[in-house]
């Protein structure tokens, strides 16, 4: 028996939640399991409530991954700032790598999600009714 469209939607919600939760785990590193489960349930609930198509599910998931990618270098800088007053050269290299890769990944994922949102919005807006163009009346010319 082939899967129904609702089953496919739920499967994609599960995959989108897994992707976003993995990004959250990579962002925060060692985070309590209860926080991870809470974040995953929050994302799954939001996707289930808000999304009606697979395109919308992945648009929201990639947007969240993009925001997590943007937050990753900021989080790393805050962690290094609180650890020592003056970061070492190695830590500064790590921050530079995080900023370059984090911003690149954030721009990529947010741009990707924008394209998916645009596609979802285009599919959800009805096309205007087509009316035939008005008939062209032949113009009479005066003969002299």
Instruction: Let me know if residue 10 belongs to a domain.
Output: yes
Domain that holds residue 12: 5-123
Q: Is residue 70 part of a domain?
A: yes
Q: Is residue 42 part of a domain?
A: yes
- Does residue 134 form part of some domain? no
Percent of the chain residues past pLDDT 90, beyond the cut: 43
Count of domains observed in the chain = 1
- Cα distance between residue 89 and residue 99, in whole Å: 15
Token digits of residue 118: 């645009």
Q: Which residues contact 65 (CB under 8 A, 6 or more apart)?
A: 19, 20, 23, 109
C-alpha span between 58 and 69 (Å, rounded): 16
Q: Measured between alpha carbons, how far is residue 117 from residues 16, 40, 59 in Å?
A: 15, 22, 6
Global pTM? 0.78
Q: 89: which 2 tokens?
A: 């050269």
User: Is residue 142 situated within a structural domain?
Assistant: no
> For residue range 52-105, what is the model confidence (pLDDT) as tens digits?
889 999 999 999 999 999 998 888 888 777 767 777 788 888 888 888 998 999
Q: Would residue 141 count as lying in a domain?
A: no
């Amino acid at each position: 028996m082939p899967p129904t469209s609702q089953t496919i939607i739920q499967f994609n919600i599960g995959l989108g939640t897994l992707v976003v939760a993995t990004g959250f785990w990579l962002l925060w590193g060692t985070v309590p399991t209860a926080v991870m489960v809470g974040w995953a349930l929050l994302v799954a609930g939001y996707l289930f409530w808000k999304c009606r198509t697979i395109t919308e599910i992945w648009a929201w998931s990639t947007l969240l991954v993009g925001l997590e990618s943007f937050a990753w270098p900021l989080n790393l800088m805050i962690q290094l700032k609180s650890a020592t007053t003056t970061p070492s050269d190695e830590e500064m290299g790590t921050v530079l790598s995080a900023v370059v890769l984090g911003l690149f990944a954030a721009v990529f994922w947010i741009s990707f999600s924008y394209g998916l949102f645009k596609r979802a919005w285009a599919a959800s807006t009805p096309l205007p009714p087509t009316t035939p163009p008005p008939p062209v009346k032949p113009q009479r010319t005066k003969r002299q």
